[in-house]
Amino acid sequence: MASIQKTERGYRAQVAIRGVRESSTFRTKREAEAWASSRESALREQAKKAPAERHTLGELLIRYRDEVSITKRGERWEIIRINRFLTASPDLAKKLLADLAPEDFAAWRDARLREVSAGSVIREIGQIAAALEMARREWRWIDHNPLSDVRKPPQPRHREVVISGKQIRAMLRALGYSPGRRPAEQRHMVALCFLVALRTGMRAGELCGLTWDRVARDHVVLLVTKTVPRRVPLSRRAVMLLERARGWDERLVFGLRVETLDALFRKYRARAGLAGFTFHDARHTAATWMARKVDVLDLCKIMGWSNTKQALTYYNPSASDLAARLD
């Protein structure tokens, strides 16, 4: 039943049909009653339709963002991807789920490939596919996921960047790092974080989330990782580096947020006149260094890989290194 209320601006009409609520304000009571009657009839007709005929792709992505993405560790990037899609692809977002076809997503994929890398498109496809699967399996909005019939771009080749000693020294100079002094600025903590990453292979998120109560005498315990919890062994040099960070933050070892670490690393890399590598490449470099000392299974244990094939992604010795071992 519609509700009509007198307000200072006129008459406010409210209708509610099966959980869908709408309201509007009118100059006269007659206009409010006419609108309410019309909207009630329209909402009743709409309620008879299947969910796929009532909801758009944009509505699905908004619900997924607000109910599912916020529960994930990767919340920030999921929300960024969804918001970008809603803004950059309004025509596709406005389409009813019932009208979506593989051809729609194929055309969108091809357009995106002209704008961003294949890796970015693969991640975006995965994001939308996850939302559609939620709508199919749990929300029962659709019977078939139209993205399941869309070909993904070929996987890009994995980065094979090993940071050179010359680049490392240049980064440390730009960051103002001094081996004999305790850190006094945020950039010094970035330098320490970088050095520990090179010695342990830990990711930026693992380093920024590391707390002092998880640091033992010869290892650290990582409870929150990209894959599964693990214990990372510490070399004597890594232990010395961690000890140098004591006193900076009572709880967090490095006292840095991932976003801050990334931004400062890029800033001082540019100041050093360097390019072609990221903070994450320190993990790649660490794996290559450690592979000279430990076997593949131990390397997988240290890095948190469940498949030994992953070692080939990060372990990239030069032909000269391999030749030296054959002598």
Q: Which residue from 63, 65, 105 is spatially nearest to 84, judged by alpha carbons? A: 65
Residues in contact with 215: Cβ distance below 8 Å, sequence separation at least 6, in sequence order: 242, 253
What residues contact residue 220 under an 8 Å CB cut-off, 6+ apart?
200, 202, 210, 214, 231, 232, 234, 242
User: Which of 152-166, 195-209, 259-273 has the weakest average pLDDT?
Assistant: 152-166
Q: Name the superfamily (CATH) of residues 165-326.
A: Intergrase catalytic core (1.10.443.10)
Q: Are 137 and 130 in contact (CB under 8 A)?
A: no
Q: What is the pLDDT of residues 269-292, one digit of tens each?
A: 999 999 999 999 999 899 988 988
Domain 57-149 has CATH 1.20.1050: no
Interval 35-90: pLDDT, tens: 988 888 887 777 677 788 889 999 999 999 999 999 887 788 899 999 999 999 99
CB within 8 Å of 139: residues ≥ 6 apart: 51, 63
| Token pair belonging to 251 | 């709880």
Q: Supply the pTM of this predicted model.
A: 0.65
Mean pLDDT of 166-192: 93
- Domain ranges for the chain, please list them: 3-48, 57-149, 165-326
The per-residue pLDDT of the chain, averaged, comes to 89
Give the list of residues 6+ apart from residue 124 with CB closer than 8 angstroms, or none. 81, 85, 112
